[in-house]
Amino acid sequence: MRFLISFLVFVTTFGSLYSQSPKSGSQFYEEMRNLPIGEREDLIVKEITSGNIPEFLRKFVPVKTVQRDSTGRKHKVTFFVTADYLAVGNDLDYFTIPMSPISAQKIADSMGTSLPTPKVVDIIYEKSKLKLEPFNYIPRGNRNETPDILNDHSRVIQAQIKASGNAPGIFVAGTKKDIVISSKLSDPKRTHHVTIYGWHRLNGVAIQPPTNVHIDIYVDYSHGVRLISNRVIVDGKEYDYRKLLSDPILHTLLNGEKEPLLRTSYLVENPSEKR
């Protein structure tokens, strides 16, 4: 029941705050484009946690799947995800915004949600209603990290959705690499790095394998944040997503690795307590 209450608080909080006429995606872009990266990240967290997101991101999509636990037993699993990657603005004018894993974790923590594992990203891609071909830019210095390219990529994706005959809010995949959680979060040699995965082509193959080569302040246009509700239903019983990923038997339902996860979040405040 506490998972359901947390989920409802997330939705109702967004609903009440959204009514305060927040800035559009275009206005947000103009405000953030010349800020130092630290101030930019703070602004992203502020806007999203205050409810300045499109209406379609306030509704979670149920994803149903059948998966095996570590003993090979099958289970019916339902988890809940945002239909698209996090954005600032409204349904008519929004900016799908890349961010650091720290900002993503702060937002997830505040909303009773978490980040996906690579296996969850794969399931989302399989179950999505609209699959789009990844759009990429040629690397030129640090151009792909600039706010102008971040915003341009958001507009390209919106154009792709429109060209497909769909409206914003369609359950879409293939447009971004996900910031994910995996055993790489416990890598002792890379304690402050971001792990990314995904960007599936139309043949279902991900361009980006799980990698943690970049430090956790690195952000480029291809990164996206999709939230996963901490409420997961397995065979009709509610579980906490984070505890499920740490369970020696059930973790394989939503985790493609052999061992359960020791950490299920990025370090935000207290490294000894954040799990």
pLDDT at position 22: 81
Compute CA distances 174 → 78, 160, 171, 262, whole Å.
Answer: 21, 11, 11, 28
Question: What is the C-alpha separation between 116 and 241, in angstroms, rounded?
Answer: 10
Domain ranges for the chain, please list them.
2-253
Mean pLDDT value across the chain:
92
Question: What is the C-alpha separation between 20 and 50, in angstroms, rounded?
Answer: 10
pLDDT category of residue 269 using cuts at 50, 70 and 90: low
**What is the total residue count of the chain?**
275
Q: In this structure, what token pair is assigned to residue 48?
A: 């999203």
Residue of 205, 105, 94, 104 whose CA lies nearest to 157? 94
Q: In this structure, what token pair is assigned to residue 66?
A: 């059948």
Question: What is the C-alpha separation between 250 and 260, in angstroms, rounded?
Answer: 9
pLDDT category of residue 128 using cuts at 50, 70 and 90: very high
140-154 burial, b at 16+ Cβ within 10 Å, e below that, comes to eeeebbebebbbebb
pLDDT category of residue 272 using cuts at 50, 70 and 90: very low
Question: What is the C-alpha separation between 75 and 34, in angstroms, rounded?
Answer: 49
pTM comes to: 0.90
pLDDT category of residue 47 using cuts at 50, 70 and 90: very high
* DSSP type of residue 142: T
Out of 16-20, 152-156, 166-170, 183-187, least confident range? 16-20
Residues 27-39 pLDDT 10s? 999 999 999 999 9
Residue of 266, 144, 254 whose CA lies nearest to 194? 266
* DSSP type of residue 228: E
Question: What is the C-alpha separation between 232 and 239, in angstroms, rounded?
Answer: 5
Q: In this structure, what token pair is assigned to residue 121?
A: 């990203």
* DSSP type of residue 24: P
12-40 burial, b at 16+ Cβ within 10 Å, e below that, comes to ebbeeebeeebbbbeebbeebeeeeeeeb
Question: What is the C-alpha separation between 124 and 148, in angstroms, rounded?
Answer: 28
